[in-house]
Structures are given as C-alpha cells and as structure tokens.
C-alpha cells in the first residue's frame, strides 16, 4: 500500500523513454512487449470518455500540493478518470525498485501474485486505486484486485491490472512497467507525467493469475470491444 507524506516531482519536460521488452518476471512470465496492445485503438476508447458522469462523492488531488479536481466517472461496464501518472515501485525488491531507487519504497502491494508474493512493479503493468474513503469505494463500484485497466497516453493503449492501493485523497499512479511501456519516464523519484493519462477500469473483471500480463491483454481487448459496443 502506498502511503506518501511527500509527492513525486514529475520532471517538467522529461524525456520519453523508448519502449521495449521488459525483463521477465520472477515467475518467468514476460513484461509488456508493445505500447499498443490489443486491437482497440486509443482514439476509439477516448471517444467514449469525452464527458463525465461523476460517481465519486468528491474529487481527488493528483498530488498533495494540487487542488482536488479529478472525479471518478461512470460508464456502462467501466469507471474512468483522467489524471497524471506518478510511479509506483512497491512490491518485490529489484534493481529498479528498492529503497535505493525510490524514497517511498515499500516491500508489499495490496494485492499479491498467485504464489503469495507481492507484485513486481518493474515488470508487471498495474494501476493504483485510491484506498476506500468517503470520496469513493472502488470495491462497491465493481473494481477489484486483478481487475483489468486500459491505460491510455499519447495515443497508446497499455493493459494493466489493479495491483495496489494508495492515499484516500490522491489519484493517478501506476507501476514502473506501465509507465515504461507507454513511453513515460518510470523513475520513481523524478519520473511520471503531470497530465494526459486516461484510466478505464472494467467492472467485475479479474485476471487470474494476476501476474499473467498476456491474460490481461487478452481479457482487456475483449472488454474494450464490449465497452465500445455498450457506450
């Protein structure tokens, strides 16, 4: 679980990293190989989320020092928000994610792999949802650990899973692997992006095992097609 008293400083004008195949996970499954996953385009998905029917009781901040301006919005079969992306490097300790690379590092995630270990942020694309509060309860909205998320940035689609929970008043965070696959600087201390990220979370979905990224892409592509048809 991410609990920060400080915020990530998203570097202004940070150079985009070239996307490539990420290292294999500890259990042997590979990380994302492409910044456009599945057959549904970013433009098609974004066309369905141009307006917001707010389902949260209030709005979220993107960082401690910002105003609360981000609502959680409802659609048929999904919820979504448009925010920034801070980098979550929590979970298994690796060369890229540890106390030496991330001042806010924690060695656990809210949801775990099938073998009971925390998720691995540098190879598994996952998204952080705000912990339950009076603003919004993700579980009551049909969102669960391992649920599929379409993350859209710079006309690219990356499928991820709901993998961790964060502060009750802040939104807009995803794993190192999610950022890297989308061309966002994944450095947990100085990376991320200040805006332009859309998160579409598909209700009542679940990838099993949660660490199987290929299964997330397959299910995500199917759910994205349903999303287009139903909205």
Going residue by residue through the chain, which has 231 residues, state the pLDDT in tens, using 9 for 90 and above.
444 434 333 333 333 333 333 333 333 344 444 467 999 999 999 999 999 999 999 999 999 999 999 999 999 999 999 999 999 999 999 999 999 999 999 999 999 999 999 999 999 999 999 999 999 999 999 999 999 999 999 999 999 999 999 999 999 999 999 999 999 999 999 999 999 999 999 999 999 999 999 999 999 999 999 999 999
CA atoms within 13 A on the CB side of 140: 12
CA 226 – CA 128 distance, rounded (Å): 24
What's the pLDDT at 21? 33
pLDDT at position 42: 97
Rounded-to-integer distance, Cα 166 and Cα 1, Å: 6
Q: Which residues contact 159 (CB under 8 A, 6 or more apart)?
A: 37, 38, 125, 148, 149, 150, 151, 213, 216, 217, 219, 220, 221
Burial class (CB in 10 A: 0-12, 13-18, 19+), 23: middle
- Residue 35 confidence (pLDDT): 60
CB 210, CB 146: distance < 8 Å: yes
User: Could you tell me where the DSSP H helices lie in 23-105?
Assistant: 42-46
User: Taking Cα atoms as reference points, which of 94, 86, 90 lies closest to residue 195?
Assistant: 86
pTM of the model as a whole: 0.87
| CB-CB contact of 57 with 169 (8 Å) | no
């Amino acid at each position: 679980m991410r609990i920060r008293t400080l915020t990530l400083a998203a570097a202004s004008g940070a150079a985009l990293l070239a996307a490539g195949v990420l290292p294999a996970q500890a259990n042997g499954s590979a990380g994302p190989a492409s910044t456009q996953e599945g057959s549904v385009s970013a433009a098609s998905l974004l066309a369905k989320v141009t307006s917001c029917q707010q389902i949260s009781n209030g709005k979220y901040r993107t960082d401690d020092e910002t105003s609360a301006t981000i609502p959680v919005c409802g659609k048929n079969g999904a919820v979504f928000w448009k925010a920034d992306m801070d980098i979550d490097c929590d979970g298994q300790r690796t060369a890229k994610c540890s106390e030496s690379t991330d001042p806010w590092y924690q060695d656990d995630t809210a949801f775990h792999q099938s073998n009971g270990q925390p998720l691995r942020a540098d190879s598994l694309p996952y998204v952080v949802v705000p912990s339950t509060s009076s603003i919004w309860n993700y579980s009551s909205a049909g969102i669960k650990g391992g649920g599929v998320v379409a993350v859209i940035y710079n006309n690219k689609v990356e499928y991820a899973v709901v993998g961790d929970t964060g502060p009750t008043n802040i939104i807009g965070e995803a794993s190192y692997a999610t950022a890297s696959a989308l061309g966002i600087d994944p450095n947990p201390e100085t990376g991320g992006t200040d805006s332009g990220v859309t998160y579409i979370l598909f209700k009542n979905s679940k990838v099993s095992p949660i660490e199987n990224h290929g299964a997330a892409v397959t299910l995500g592509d199917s759910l994205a097609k349903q999303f287009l048809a139903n909205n």
